[in-house]
């Protein structure tokens, strides 16, 4: 009999993500030095976050490759057990999905939006061209990667006192700094 772990996506919500096994993202590991592309949600509500791997000298890719190689095989939309996840410094995402075996090899053809080639377009990422068939050639799988992010429905508190609000897989993401002052604090019960 398979055991399932179900976790609520938010504080007040009826949405749940159920997993056949619990996979946690490594604590303190930030895979990207920066993010160069966030897609619009596809027909399933998933978006793609593409970023440059940490350490421009290639060590970041080696570290990410070693991590990806250690993951068990998954298929479909399985979210990491520990959310939100910091994909780049200060950039937290809720409902980050565990990469499938195909995605680890650069094959994102099951994603309903484009996978952008960071070596095309202007210096700020404008006018980038999509990889044909949403497949990153093996010779290009070095220095950048993409994570799918599933549809999120509620604010997620972050460890630094910010809130991440993601609606429909990040169609709208807001960081709202939470500032508490003595004059605005709620009176004790």
Amino acid 39: pLDDT: 92
Residue from 177, 178, 174, 158 nearest 166 by CA: 174
Instruction: Convert the pLDDT of each residue in 89-121 to its tens digit.
Output: 999 999 999 999 999 999 999 999 999 999 898
Helices (H) and strands (E) in the chain, counts: 2, 12
- pLDDT greater at residue 103 or residue 126: 103
Cα R_g (the chain), whole angstroms = 18
CA-to-CA distance for 44 and 67, rounded, in angstroms?
27
- Residue 69, H or E segment: helix 59-69
53, 66 in Cβ contact below 8 A? no
Amino acid 107: pLDDT: 96
Residue 76: pLDDT band by 50, 70, 90 thresholds?
confident
Amino acid 165: pLDDT: 40
CA-to-CA distance for 105 and 103, rounded, in angstroms?
5
134, 161 in Cβ contact below 8 A? no
CA-to-CA distance for 23 and 10, rounded, in angstroms?
19
Residue 123: pLDDT band by 50, 70, 90 thresholds?
low
CA-to-CA distance for 109 and 133, rounded, in angstroms?
6
Residue 16 β-bridge partners: 8
118, 58 in Cβ contact below 8 A? no
Residue 185 has pLDDT above 60, yes or no: no
Tell me how far apart the 2 most distant CA atoms of the chain are, in Å.
Answer: 62
Residue 180: pLDDT band by 50, 70, 90 thresholds?
very low
């Amino acid at each position: 009999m398979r055991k399932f772990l179900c976790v609520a996506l938010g504080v007040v919500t009826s949405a749940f993500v159920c997993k056949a096994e619990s996979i946690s993202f490594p604590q303190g590991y930030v895979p990207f030095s920066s993010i160069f592309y966030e897609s619009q949600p596809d027909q399933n509500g998933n978006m793609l976050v593409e970023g440059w791997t940490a350490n421009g000298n290639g060590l970041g890719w080696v570290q990410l490759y070693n991590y990806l190689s250690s993951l068990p095989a998954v298929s479909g939309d399985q979210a990491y057990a520990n959310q939100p996840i910091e994909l780049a410094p200060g950039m937290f995402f809720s409902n980050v999905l565990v990469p499938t075996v195909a995605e680890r090899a650069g094959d994102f053809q099951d994603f309903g939006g484009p996978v952008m080639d960071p070596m095309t377009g202007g210096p700020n990422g404008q006018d980038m061209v999509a990889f044909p068939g949403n497949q990153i050639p093996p010779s290009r799988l070095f220095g950048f990667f993409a994570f799918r992010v599933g549809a999120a429905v509620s604010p997620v508190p972050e460890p630094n006192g910010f809130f991440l609000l993601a609606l429909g897989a990040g169609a709208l993401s807001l960081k709202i700094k939470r500032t508490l002052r003595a004059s605005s604090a709620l009176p004790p019960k």
